[in-house]
Amino acid sequence: MRPLIAEPRYPQGPGAGGAKAALKPAAAAKPQKPPRRTVAPTRLSFRLERLWLTPVVRVVTRVGVPVFCVTLGLGLWLGDADRRADLMEWSQDLRTQIENRPEFQLSTLAIEGASPEVEGAVHALLPVRLPASRFALDLDGYRAAILRLDAVKTVALVVQPGGTLSVRVTEREPVILWRTALGLQMLDESGHRTASLTRRDARPDLPLIAGEGADKAVPEALAILAAAKPILPRARGLVRVGERRWDIVLDKDRRILLPEKDPVQAIDRALALNAAEDLLSRDFSRLDLRNATRPTIRLSAPALVAFQQAAAQTTAEASR
């Protein structure tokens, strides 16, 4: 039998772990990194860093310096006259090539809404001969030239696909004739001239006005003519007096004198008198309506003689 060997006992307690650890081999120590060495900035680098943080310096450095360098280079390159001439010639050739491309060519002129006379004038005002490049045609100048035609109210220029220049014209509609020392002029509703006439019977459908400044009061003349529609078959036209009021000229050289203000109301009163007493069928030369409270009638010379004879006869019979 093998002899029993007693195992050594170690003390139990808080210090027992330290004893066991003492029996274990010591672990290898980890190498430690050397501490980083802080290098203080120099005075020049510190000042440059502070200067870079200034907004003006950063803008000048990022924007101003490149722009200056580019400008200086271009200035030095363009300082040669031959280089400038070559550049101008190249740019002109490039522009000519672009302008003469087929998609920019105008070959036909289409005019819409114009009478034959206005259409011929629009054709004559075209500053270039077609076909031509649209860049060779000043559209604004062409539009202004067309608008200077008396008969044209509005005009629109549209470049359509296929090389067609469309001219859409709206003409002024003549509504009245104005007799002047130079002849007959057709006016629209605003008093703008549309065309000239050589004979009155060329437009018998248009009423006639005359007098200095009559063209500036066309709207008022149209209102008077509309109010005097029942007596228009007897009317020959309107005459502007003193550039402030109107006279209605009737047949047999008779006139109705209208006031400066509210001439339409005076026409209504004249129509009421005519309906009540058949005034316009009488032999008179002037019917003065300028005083609204006292209309006055002036008899013609034959009617005045007949009236005086009748009055004398009446007085003689009354004295008997």
pLDDT in tens, the chain (320 residues): 454 444 455 455 544 454 444 445 545 556 666 666 666 678 888 888 888 888 888 888 888 889 999 999 888 888 888 888 888 888 888 877 777 788 788 889 999 999 998 999 999 999 888 888 888 888 999 999 999 999 999 999 998 888 899 999 999 999 999 999 889 999 999 999 999 998 989 999 999 999 999 999 999 999 999 999 998 888 999 999 999 999 999 988 899 999 999 999 999 988 988 888 888 887 888 899 998 888 888 877 666 666 666 666 777 667 76
Q: CATH second-level architecture of 102-171?
A: Roll (3.10)
CATH 3.40.50.11690 fits 176-314, yes or no: yes
What token pair was written down for 218?
């066309």
Per-residue confidence (pLDDT) for residue 9, from 0 to 100: 53
The alpha carbon torsion through 250, 268, 291, 308 (nearest 10 deg) reads 50
pTM here is 0.63
How much is the pLDDT for 163? 86
Say which amino acid occupies 45: S
Q: For residue 206, count CB atoms less than 10 angstroms from its CB and return exposed for 0-12, middle for 13-18, buried for 19 or more.
A: middle
Q: Do domains 102-171 and 176-314 have the same CATH topology?
A: no
Cα(18)–Cα(270) distance, integer angstroms? 140
Strand 254-257 relative to strand 245-250, pairing? antiparallel
d(CA 320, CA 4): 200
Crossing angle (nearest 10°) for helices 116-125 and 139-147: 140
- Edge-to-edge order in the sheet of strand 108-112: 108-112, 164-171, 152-160
> Which sequence spans correspond to the domains of the chain?
102-171, 176-314
Distances (CA, A) of 290 to 17, 216, 241, 260: 138, 21, 13, 7
Give one DSSP letter per residue of 74-129, joined into a string. Answer: HHHHHTSHHHHHHHHHHHHHHHHHHHTSGGGEE-EEEEES--HHHHHHHHHH-SSP
